[in-house]
Structure 1
Amino acid sequence: MSISNEALQKLVQEIETQAVQSQQQIALVKSQMASKQREMRMLQLTSSEVSTLPPDTPVYEGVGKMFVLSPITGVDTRLKAETQELKSDVENLGKKLQYLETTYKNSREHIDQIFKNGGRG
């Protein structure tokens, strides 16, 4: 069974579009992962600095354009919670990245297979 040139061209174009979209999304996900990892590292550094302070040290957190006195334990708890949330986000982005890379790889393989077979089904 042979596929017409028109149908073959349309199929290749659709697969190529899917591959390009996957490639763009891969770049976006990698950028998001890097951003979240940087943010997580800053939170961890802040948390380690706060944990070295004596318990009675006044600590201020920025809220809009002002600073509010906060207990060290509250600040540390918030930093750890935000770090956990970012870890979860990075893990989910890693799964999404793996899916997109697989989709891209499969698209490229399909295109190669179509050209290798010359449109024969």
Structure 2
Amino acid sequence: MSFSEQALGKIVHDLQAKLQEATRMVASVQAQIQTREREKRLSELTNKELSSLEPETVTYKSVGKMFIQEPLPELTSELSERVTEMDKDMAALDKKRIYWERNKTEAQGNLQELIKQIQAQTSS
């Protein structure tokens, strides 16, 4: 009987570890998605503001702690590419989030089922 209890304890421990990892990964991926959404919004807003300027307007882009002069069309093109890149990143991260949420749900279900079986064994 003690071997069975040890085996059950190890299974419960493994399921709990899997659940914790999945929960941590879901939170991490959601934070990454939020970061990409923020970057995308900033790029879109900047591009919107730049679109109201005359094409000859002198513009600068930030590079580290300095600014480099860049023609307006190139700057708006770069911002548009960044928005497209953020969309692709968010789509990939959303797939990861779905994967980890599925793992989390599966681990929760397995853990609850195992606990019910243990309770049923101890009560009979």
Same fold (TM over 0.5): yes
Q: Within 2, Cα distance between the matches of 1:94 and 1:36?
A: 11
Aligned to 2:26: 26
For residues 6-41 of structure 1, the C-alpha deviation after alignment (integer angstroms, 9 at most, x for no partner) is 111101100110000110111111111111101110
Q: Secondary structure at the match of 1:68?
A: strand
Aligned to 1:14: 14
Cα gap change, 1:11/1:62 in structure 2, threshold over 3 Å: closer, same or farther? same
Q: Within 2, Cα distance between the matches of 1:66 and 1:109?
A: 53
CA RMSD of aligned residues (A): 1.6
- Matched length: 118
Identity, in percent, stands at 29
Give the structure with the higher percent helix: 2
Correspondences of 1:1-121 after superposition (within 5 Å): 4-118=4-118
Q: Which runs of 5+ in 1 are unaligned?
A: none
Q: Which has the higher contact order (CA 8 A, sep 6+)?
A: 1
Q: Which runs of 4+ in 1 moved over 6 A?
A: none
The TM-score, its normalising length taken from structure 2, stands at: 0.89
For residues 26-81 of structure 1, the C-alpha deviation after alignment (integer angstroms, 9 at most, x for no partner) is 11111111111011100000001111111111111122333222111100110011
The TM-score, its normalising length taken from structure 1, stands at: 0.91
User: What is the CA distance between 1:84 and its match in structure 2?
Assistant: 0.8
Q: Within 1, Cα distance between the matches of 2:22 and 2:100?
A: 6
